[in-house]
Amino acid sequence: MNAQSVVVIGAGPGGEAAAKQLAERGVAVTLVEQGPLGGLCLNWGCIPTKILLEAGRLSHQARTSAVLQGGRDVGVDWEKLQAKKRAVVESVRAALEHRLAQLRIRVVQGTARFLSDRTLSVTGPAGNEVLSFDAAVIATGSTPFFPPPFDTLTDSILDSNRVLNLSILPRHLAVVGAGAVGLEFACLFHELGAQVSVIEKKLQILPGEEASVTRLLQKSFEKRGMKIYTDRTVAQAQRLADGWRLILSDGATLTPDQVLVCVGRRPVPDALGLDAAGVSVDNGRVGVNNYMQTSRAHLYAVGDVNGLSLLAHAAAAQGVAAANHILGTCLPYDNELVPRCLYTWPEVASVGEWTHSASLKNLEVKAQRFFFQGSPKALASDETEGFLQILSEKGGGRLLGAQIVGPHATELIHIFSVALAEKMTVDRLRQVIFAHPTLAEGIREALCR
């Protein structure tokens, strides 16, 4: 495609990646954003939550270490932590603004709506402006979803945005939804001293993840004092003078002072006027091919809005794929190569196939494990909880995927990401020389069993 001008709608990870890639190749890019640059990831998601979680992890490590003297007196200064969060977010946003200016990307503040497949209007503080373009990238993200009975209580409950700015820490926090976001906040606030109750409608926490991984994680949480209620929903929610009264579907009653609802997110493409652009929407999501093209070949959709993945790094990879296709380079996006990370303690990470997903494809799977209890490095750091699992195809030894629960899982998983991207076999991965003592050498140990 010979596009001279491109409009990117949304300045989160997907839109940012697409805009930069295009501008670096000389395309005139206009970036439209109705909120602060960086989107959910920078302002309310990945970055601020990881700042909070890292403080919690350090506190946990100091309290539970066999040799450090902090003991249970170790704590987190919530006000100082909030100040650090704000400072880091502002610093990263300033760096982003500087880079966009360097690339001569025009940033327009406001809400975009398509008028046709070649024009859109932007309504913002500066008034209304009509933009024309050769191609457009839709990267408008998603919004939190609130099921009954919380759909009528959105002004009173906490969501993943509001919980970041609490001035007073809760005594008892009920977390509804045991996906990645819910579990990270549960882990954090328990470390900060709150009583935590987690409610999940599915049979296991972290739905979709390997069952052996979630069992270990749940056992770790419960051992530390968290209450986990799976296979249950909140049937009734009543606001009290000093908190909440929640009645679960099995009749159990909880009385937390704060309720955090993290049951998922959904794209909201309706406000974009996609009908005027001729873009098809299926069940609230914009359908795309492997190059992120919508039903209109010159219009692309990346990130949460297409429903392929709700991960920031997936959105960024999709943004690059879309930009490359606009530039005439066909490098398809592969959703199976996206690593999935959970920043609790212990951490959880996976990439590629799970055993249950591989079985649905009629693949014969060989699973090989290494437990961190056998790692000298893990023993040295008092982080022996967990294991890594490597899945390969029986017979040929083709690497299919990996799951890790334990120390630094979110960093270790990228070894498998590279191996999968390079289509390595188990035999080839076994030949890699890992340093000793490291956590990573557990990979070779697993493959030699």
State the pLDDT at residue 183: 98
**Residues with catalytic function:** 436
The span from the CA of 245 to the CA of 356, in Å, is: 37
Helix (H) or strand (E) holding 399: strand 399-406
Instruction: Evaluate if residue 67 carries a pLDDT over 80.
Output: no
Does position 184 have pLDDT exceeding 70, yes or no?
Answer: yes
Q: What is the token pair recorded at 201?
A: 């409608």
The pLDDT of residue 39 = 94
Domains of the chain: 5-142+267-335 (3.50.50.60), 150-264 (3.50.50.60), 346-447 (3.30.390.30)
Q: Given a cut of 60, is residue 71 above it in pLDDT?
A: no
Q: Which single residue is written with the structure tokens 């909440």?
A: 244
Give the distance between the most distant pair of CA atoms in the chain: 66
Q: Is the pLDDT of residue 89 over 70?
A: yes
What integer pLDDT is reported at residue 72 of this predicted model?
58
**For range 66-88, the mean pLDDT:** 81
Q: What angle is formed at CA 402 by the lines to CA 399 and CA 406, rounded to 5 degrees?
A: 155
Across the chain, mean pLDDT equals: 95
Confidence at residue 13, expressed as pLDDT on a 0 to 100 scale: 97
Q: How confident is the model at residue 74 (pLDDT cuts 50, 70, 90)?
A: low
Mean pLDDT along residues 56-85: 82
Q: Has residue 5 got a pLDDT over 90? A: yes
Residue-level pLDDT at 69: 64
For residues 380-393, average pLDDT: 96
pLDDT, one tens digit per residue, over 241-277 is: 999 999 999 999 999 999 999 999 999 877 899 999 9
Rounded to 5, what percent of the chain is helix, strand, coil?
35, 25, 40
363 class by beta-carbon count within 10 Å (0-12 exposed, 13-18 middle, 19+ buried): middle
Task: Report pLDDT for 63.
Answer: 84
Residues of the chain with pLDDT > 70, as a percent, come to: 98
Residues 6+ apart with CB under 8 A from 90: none
Residue found under tokens 């929903």: 233
- Average pLDDT for 428-445: 97
Looking at residue 61, its pLDDT comes to 87
This prediction's pTM: 0.95
Confidence at residue 26, expressed as pLDDT on a 0 to 100 scale: 96
Q: What is the pLDDT of residues 306-350, one digit of tens each?
A: 999 999 999 999 999 999 999 999 999 999 999 999 999 999 999
Contact 144, 40 (CB under 8 A): no
Buried b (16+ CB within 10 A) or exposed e, 390-406: bbbbeeebebbbbbbbb
The stretch 187-194 carries a mean pLDDT of 95
- Cα–Cα distance, 216 to 21 (Å, whole number): 41
Q: Among 182-196, 242-256, 265-279, 285-299, whose mean pLDDT is lowest?
A: 265-279
For helices 180-191 and 211-223, the axis angle rounded to 10 degrees is 20
Q: What is the predicted pLDDT for the residue at 395?
A: 87
> How confident is residue 28, by pLDDT bands cut at 50, 70 and 90?
very high
